[in-house]
Amino acid sequence: MKTYTLTNKSGASVVLSDIGAAIVAINVPDRDGKLADVVIGYPKPESYFGDGPCSGKCPGRYANRIALGKFTLDGVEYTLPVNNGPNHLHGGPEGFQNKVWESRQEGNAVEFMYFSADGEAGYPGNLKVVARYEWDDDNRLQLTFTAQTDKATVINLTNHAYFNLDGEGSGTVLNHMLRLNASEFLPTSESLIPLGESVPVAGTPMDFVNPKPIGRDIKEDFEPLRIAKGYDHCFVLDGWMEGQLGEAAELWSEKSGRCVKIYTTQPGIQIYTGNYLEGCPEGMDGHVYHDYDAVALECQHFPDSPNKPDYPSTVLRPGETYEQAIIWQFGIK
């Protein structure tokens, strides 16, 4: 495993890895100036291959789920490996998150490149993907994805970091405060495939328009929460415009004072409360991660978009450039 550490003038740092173009650690200060790593990760490189949580990595060619591992594009049906109940998840068992990417550092930035051959995991087209991370002196981490293909394909990229703003391994995040710029979400089937149209969050446990503790309503008698054993849902970002950066979410801990604001060009954000972290590889400093010990906030296009023509398109064609950005702005609240 090749790692890169980017440190800014205040001493805050980010550690990146060529396995899955991953975020391995983010060390930022609390209200007293004490640095701690706020994302979960593993000390052993081999733990990053095939881990259930997909910790800190960039899954692909299609992040999230595609129903029954099938989609049709330009009249041709494509079949993908099924690895999540009846569905295809995160590009399948050999997805981008389990590949070693080419990498290079340029000052305060690291670029990772992966070439996905035509037919890999059943997807059409030779696809070249670049994930570029930049870390600045204001504790802002920016991730920009770009990709080109030589044949029409589908693509949906995100980063799958899990946050605990009290420091990884410090216990539950159900007391963290979360605010989402999302007044609608996508209800799903029992296998977590969106049913179709988005519905309002108002009056439901899915409402984070006004900030609340993540765990306040997580045990409510509400079908979507029962299906997922917590939150594992795509929220539709308000005011999304293609190519425009918008605010997606804000997460903070009243205990440590740390906060992170998230901005993205993507139309949705998948909130996953680490409902199945139990049994994942051993974490940093010997920490054992339990369910709900960290939360993933994955900016992305909607699950199963290739089979949902009404959703924003995830089709990439020759001559086009896929470009999406995610920004994490760390601070004190």
Q: How many CA atoms lie within 13 A of 142 on its CB side?
A: 11
Cβ count within 10 A of residue 325: 17
Asked if 108 and 102 count as a contact pair (C-beta separation under 8 A), the reply is: no
- Whether 160 is catalytic is yes
* Active-site annotation holder among 88, 90, 160, 287: 160
Give kind and range of the element (H or E) at residue 109: strand 109-116
Cα–Cα–Cα angle for 21, 72, 159, rounded to 5 degrees: 15
Active site residue 298: yes
Cβ pair 33, 65 in contact under 8 A: no
Spatial CA neighbour of 260 closest among 168, 214, 327, 207: 327
- Spot the catalytic one: 233, 250, 298, 301: 298
Q: Where are the alpha helices (DSSP H) in 79-124?
A: none
Looking at the chain, list the stretches that DSSP marks H as alpha helix, in order from N- to C-terminal side.
Answer: 223-228
Query: Which of 296, 4, 268 lies closest to 132 in space, CA to CA?
Result: 4
Q: Which residues partner with 87 through β-bridges?
A: 84
Regarding beta strands 199-200 and 184-185, do their DSSP bridges make them parallel or antiparallel, or are they unpaired? antiparallel
Active site residues: 160, 298
